[in-house]
Chains A and B, each alone.
Chain A
C-alpha cells in the first residue's frame, strides 16, 4: 500500500549547519507531497508542499523537490537556526482524496547554538 518513509532521528546539528531530512514514498498514483513541522507542545503546521513531479516547495529557507524518478521529497535548509528545532513530518495524500494524508514517523531536529 501507499506509505511514507523518512529518516530516523533524532538529528542534532550546530547552528548554521546544512540540513537534509530524507523522505521517500510509495504510491499507486501521483500524490501531492508535504512537509509539516511540529514545535514543542503544538499541533502540526504545513511547512511546504509540492503537487506534481519536479515541483519545488519552499518556505522559511526550507526547500524540497518532488522527484518522481526516485520517489523522494527530501527536505533541505542551507543554514539552520536554534528556532528550527522541532519534529518534521513528511506526508502524502492517498486514495485519490485531497485530504487523507499518510505521514512518516517524524524526525526530531535539535539545533545547538
Chain B
C-alpha cells in the first residue's frame, strides 16, 4: 500500500472556524491532490501540487487554500468553514495512476 496518511480522520467543527487537513506521504512523489467526495457528485478536484510550493486550482477550489512546504506534506485549509464544505476529503498522490488516502470526514455544523 502507498504510504499516505491523512489527519484528522474525523472532525466536527462549527461554521466560521478555520480547519486544516493534513496529508503526509512517504513515497516521495512529486504530485499530490486533494479531492472531495459528495453523494451524487463523485470525486471533485479541489487543488493539486506538482512540487514544493507549486500548487494549482482544481474544479472546486473556492473557499479552500493549500500549502506544500515539504515534499511529504500537503495541507488543505478552510479559512472559514461553511456547511457546504461538509464532505469526505481524500488526498491522493501519483501521476497516471493515483493512490488515495483513507479519507477525512469533515462535518461543519
A43 touches B94 (CB 8 A): no
A residues in contact with B43, CB < 8 Å: 44, 89, 101, 103
User: Is the CB–CB distance between B58 and A44 below 8 Å?
Assistant: no
Interface size class of A (residues with CB under 8 A): 20 to 34
Q: Which residue of A lies closest to B30 (CB)?
A: A99
CB pair A46–B41 under 8 Å, yes or no, is: no
Q: In whole angstroms, how far apart are the Cα atoms of A93 and B4 in the complex?
A: 21
How far, in angstroms, from A27 to B100 measured CA to CA in the complex? Answer: 24
* A residues 83-113 in Cβ contact with B at 8 Å: 89, 93, 97-101, 103-106
| B99 nearest CB neighbor, chain A only | A46
A20 within 8 A of partner (CB): no
Interface residues of B, Cβ cutoff 8 Å to A: 4, 31, 33, 40-45, 48, 58, 90, 92, 94-103
Contacts of B100 in A (CB 8 A): 43-45
Chain A residues with a Cβ under 8 A of chain B:
32, 34, 41-46, 49, 51, 89, 93, 97-101, 103-106
Count A/B pairs, Cβ under 8 Å. Answer: 51
- Nearest to B96 among chain A residues (CB) is A98
Once bound together, how far apart are the Cα atoms of A98 and B99, in whole Å? 13
Q: In the bound complex, what is the Cα–Cα distance between A42 and B94 (angstroms)?
A: 18
Between-chain CB contacts (< 8 Å), 16 pairs: A42-B102, A43-B90, A43-B101, A46-B97, A46-B98, A49-B97, A89-B43, A97-B95, A98-B95, A99-B33, A100-B33, A101-B45, A103-B44, A104-B42, A105-B40, A105-B42
Q: A99 contacts B90, CB within 8 Å?
A: no
In the complex, what residue of chain A is closest to B56 when comparing beta carbons? A100
Q: Judge whether B94 and A99 touch: CB under 8 Å.
A: yes
Min CB distance B26 to A, Å, is: 16
Q: Considering the chains assembled together, what is the distance between the CA atoms of A46 and B92 in angstroms?
A: 12
